[in-house]
Structure 1
Amino acid sequence: MNKIAYIGCLGLVSIITTEFGIIGILPQVAAHYGISIDRAGILLSAFALVIALTGPFMTLLAARFDRRNVMALSIGIFLLAGMVSLLSPPFWLLLLVRVLPAFLQPVFISTAIAVAVSNAGKGEAHRLMAVVLGGISLATVTTLPVATWLAGVYGWQASFGLQALMSGIALVAILWLLPPMPVTVRKSYGAQLRVLTQPNFLLSAVMNFLMIGAWFCSYSYFADYLGKVKHMDTAMISSMMLLFGITGVLGNRLAGKMLGKSVAGTTAFFLAGTLLLPVGLYYAGDNQLLTIFMIGLWGLFYAPCFLTASAYIIAAAPEALEFANSFSTSCGNLGVSVGTAVSGMVIASYGVQYTPWTGMVFGGAALLVMYWRSRLRPAAAKVPCMAQ
């Protein structure tokens, strides 16, 4: 199971490099196509919206097929998208090939987690889940800043070349190292969908959406914010993305330990960062050292958002692990899409300096939903067994 978890982690690195690699090059892409930064943001928000609308249903449809084949097909589509994108096609085609792999992104994540934690005990299941989702932090500290650096040196197309390379490596690992994994026990669609009737689960999903949306109000325009508000050049922005990723790895490790004690408490702790960030960035002003310190905190609090959001929603539906995972991914990506779109409108009307404050509104709403859920039914204090 460890091998499967690490291959799942590698696959997630390639996925995150593709989905969020656009963030560091968004200003360059906008300039190349002669469009506004908020319109260029569609490349991120459309990707996330497709996941949000189709994720759970695609996961249910794929549940009957051999899991290795499902994972390989998913990464294969990401490889194709990266290869076409690096050719700098017309904007409509770039948007199209960006959107296609989004249909299978939640399928890969939910399948990788499900096979990694199958037959594992409670403590081990959570550790393996953290290994798979650790691909998000790993990409943040490695491929994302490298993609931004490559774009600064060789042009934005080089970023897509790195995305294609990572997808190719992940595809080879899946086909070479994973055995066939046919599905032996099929769960009925009804059993999976029944969780949608549970208020506890639905409130967890709303919190998931608001939490991810809160972070992506600002993170989606990370490069644009640092360039226009903090007056950093491309090289400095790439360095800040590296710092962001390093502290993010630390944050992910910290969250993994804290979740074993309290899912709700850990989620609330890292969600509080959405309230701290705008205040800290505002008072940092043009002081570069304080700004760098705040960017480090930004990464620390942001990185565990997908892990804590997944744990929070799975705690409400441990009996439907794969569906809950994919639903969590969909809700999170709806948050990415809406957070990016809302911040894009704020940028168009008021300026990029207000994006962290927009995230604060989402974050405050998420904390209110957590309080509502705790009043409806006490949140699980410990992570439930995630074995199938």
Structure 2
Amino acid sequence: MPVALLALAIAAFGIGTTEFVIMGLLPDVATDLGVSVPTAGLLISGYALGVVVGAPLLTALGSKVPRKTVLTGLMVLFIAGNLVSALAPGYGLLMTGRVVAALSHGAFFGVGSVVAASLVPPSRRASAIAIMFAGLTVANVLGVPAGTALGQQFGWRSTFWAVSVLGVIALIGVVALVPSRPVAEGHSLRSELAVFRRPQVWLALAMTALGFGGMFAAFSYIAPMMTEVAGFSSGAVAWLLVLFGGGLVVGNVIGGRSADRALMPSLYVSLAVLAVVLVVFVFTAHAQLPAAVTIAVFGVAGFAAVPPLQARVMAKAGDAPALASAANIAAFNLGNAGGSWLGGLAIAHGLGYTAPNWIGAVLAAAGLGAALLSGALDRRPAHRTEPEIPALH
């Protein structure tokens, strides 16, 4: 394993922690800043919007800059955003810090995926992407619970100070370990934008938005589902989330390895399994042990699709993958927001706390449909000569 992948994984750990840890700190933030919990909850939406906007924008702005330089600048932006959050005297400046940190999120994962894939032979690119994304999955298992506990014990600002330190460590790792390579000759923003004329790129983005939308339709409401339907205490939810996070780690490894062997079949299987697990979850959510087991399997199924989804959009973008890769990170976050909204809509209409599982299953099945259509297009003669593993620079 190239040691540079470790630097990318540490950065992913810090980014993943700062994205999700706010969920556990909302009551503390709301009390300290004198706002309601729903208002504090907009810090989550603001972050997601920052990712969606920042991913394509900052990647486009850096299209003629060496990728190591881009990654370095993005980590500086990430650190700055978290420092602003730690020092924020009020809600407005905290939201500003969250958005600034989020701007770096999508572009870092987008450009980082291209860099990770360029560090290994073509046959191991999905696994290299998975190693970087492992930082994000481990953040859910270790970073978020630890950050939540830290914030509850020493104040929510301490969590953002800790994440800032993580960002500095990651920045040092990127500067010291990621190789510096010049921008490929002929590479430009126009060449990056040109890939969006390809239907297969849009199908890859649709798979991501639908598949991850299915996952987050259910995951967004896992806490009330477990307390109100399964009968767990509120204190048990943290341990259930650790189970889910463990599933994410396992799914990430499985997804990376299977995608290196057979990219599209791994997508078909992971999206199909996700849809089935969500249907099963409708019924297992009514009893504690089956619900706990299903949560772990749900984590595996949900994240097994991530490395192949990222590898797919990069393959279909050919020799200009950076902007498409960043757009795929934006698609992940659009799926998060859309799935969560649809799940909440179902609950608001009185369909119960297990209704988001049905919504998630339908979205995952739609993602599978997009994958099957994309695979069928691959088999057409006009597409057989399309390069699946582009040269990355």
Normalising by the smaller structure, the TM-score range is 0.7 to 0.9
TM-score normalised by length of structure 2 = 0.85
Deviations 1:293-327 (A, max 9, x none): 01111111122333122122223223222122112
The answer to whether 1:44 aligns with 2:44 is yes
- Percent of aligned pairs sharing the same letter: 26
What does 1:154-303 correspond to in 2, within 5 Å?
Answer: 156-178=156-178, 181-183=181-183, 185=185, 187-233=187-233, 235-303=235-303
1:2 is displaced (CA, Å) by: 0.9
The verdict on how the C-alpha distance between 1:242 and 1:383 changes in structure 2, with shifts beyond 3 A counting, is farther
What does 1:114-129 correspond to in 2, within 5 Å?
Answer: 114-118=114-118, 120-129=120-129
Q: Could you say which residue in structure 1 is the equivalent of 2:56?
A: 56
In 1, Cα distance between equivalents of 2:236 and 2:367: 32
Contact 1:109 1:326 in 2 (8 A): yes
Structure 1: which 5+ residue stretches go unaligned? none
Contact 1:251 1:301 in 2 (8 A): yes
In 2, Cα distance between equivalents of 1:328 and 1:128: 17
In 1, Cα distance between equivalents of 2:173 and 2:67: 14
1:318 aligned counterpart, secondary structure: coil
Q: Could you say which residue in structure 1 is the equivalent of 2:389?
A: 385
1:211 aligned counterpart, secondary structure: helix
Amino acid at match of 2:278: P
Contact 2:63 2:188 in 1 (8 A): no
2:183 aligned counterpart, secondary structure: coil
Q: Could you say which residue in structure 2 is the equivalent of 1:373?
A: 374
Amino acid at match of 1:311: A
What does 1:340-379 correspond to in 2, within 5 Å?
Answer: 340-350=340-350, 352-378=353-379
Amino acid at match of 1:364: A
In 2, Cα distance between equivalents of 1:378 and 1:29: 53
Amino acid at match of 1:114: V
2:316 aligned counterpart, secondary structure: coil
Amino acid at match of 1:337: A
1:330 aligned counterpart, secondary structure: helix
Deviations 1:328-370 (A, max 9, x none): 1122222122223333444444354432222222112212222
What does 1:91-170 correspond to in 2, within 5 Å?
Answer: 91-118=91-118, 120-151=120-151, 153=153, 156-170=156-170
In 1, Cα distance between equivalents of 2:30 and 2:359: 22
Count of aligned positions: 387
What does 1:4-15 correspond to in 2, within 5 Å?
Answer: 4-15=4-15
Contact 1:213 1:340 in 2 (8 A): yes
Amino acid at match of 1:71: L
Q: Could you say which residue in structure 1 is the equivalent of 2:2?
A: 2
1:59 is displaced (CA, Å) by: 0.7
1:13 is displaced (CA, Å) by: 0.9
The verdict on how the C-alpha distance between 1:119 and 1:146 changes in structure 2, with shifts beyond 3 A counting, is closer
In 1, Cα distance between equivalents of 2:114 and 2:369: 30
Contact 2:12 2:133 in 1 (8 A): yes
Amino acid at match of 2:74: S
Contact 2:85 2:97 in 1 (8 A): yes
Contact 1:126 1:386 in 2 (8 A): no
Answer 1 or 2: higher relative contact order, Cα 8 Å, separation at least 6. Answer: 1
Q: Could you say which residue in structure 1 is the equivalent of 2:329?
A: 329
1:386 is displaced (CA, Å) by: 4.5
1:12 is displaced (CA, Å) by: 0.9
Contact 1:144 1:241 in 2 (8 A): no
Contact 1:200 1:373 in 2 (8 A): yes
The verdict on how the C-alpha distance between 1:286 and 1:149 changes in structure 2, with shifts beyond 3 A counting, is farther
The verdict on how the C-alpha distance between 1:119 and 1:245 changes in structure 2, with shifts beyond 3 A counting, is closer
Amino acid at match of 2:279: V
Q: CA RMSD in A?
A: 3.1
Compare 246-255 and 374-383 and name the one that shifted more.
Answer: 374-383
Compare 54-63 and 179-188 and name the one that shifted more.
Answer: 179-188
Deviations 1:228-272 (A, max 9, x none): 444444542222222222222221111122112322221122222
1:158 is displaced (CA, Å) by: 4.9
Contact 1:82 1:160 in 2 (8 A): yes
Contact 2:84 2:97 in 1 (8 A): yes
Compare 177-186 and 296-305 and name the one that shifted more.
Answer: 177-186
Amino acid at match of 1:256: G
The verdict on how the C-alpha distance between 1:119 and 1:150 changes in structure 2, with shifts beyond 3 A counting, is closer
Amino acid at match of 2:277: L
Contact 2:263 2:308 in 1 (8 A): yes
2:258 aligned counterpart, secondary structure: helix
Contact 2:29 2:156 in 1 (8 A): yes
Structure 2: which 5+ residue stretches go unaligned? none
Deviations 1:60-87 (A, max 9, x none): 2112234333223222222233334345
Compare 103-112 and 342-351 and name the one that shifted more.
Answer: 342-351
1:156 is displaced (CA, Å) by: 4.9
Amino acid at match of 2:389: C
The verdict on how the C-alpha distance between 1:50 and 1:285 changes in structure 2, with shifts beyond 3 A counting, is closer
The verdict on how the C-alpha distance between 1:275 and 1:178 changes in structure 2, with shifts beyond 3 A counting, is closer
Q: Could you say which residue in structure 2 is the equivalent of 1:319?
A: 319
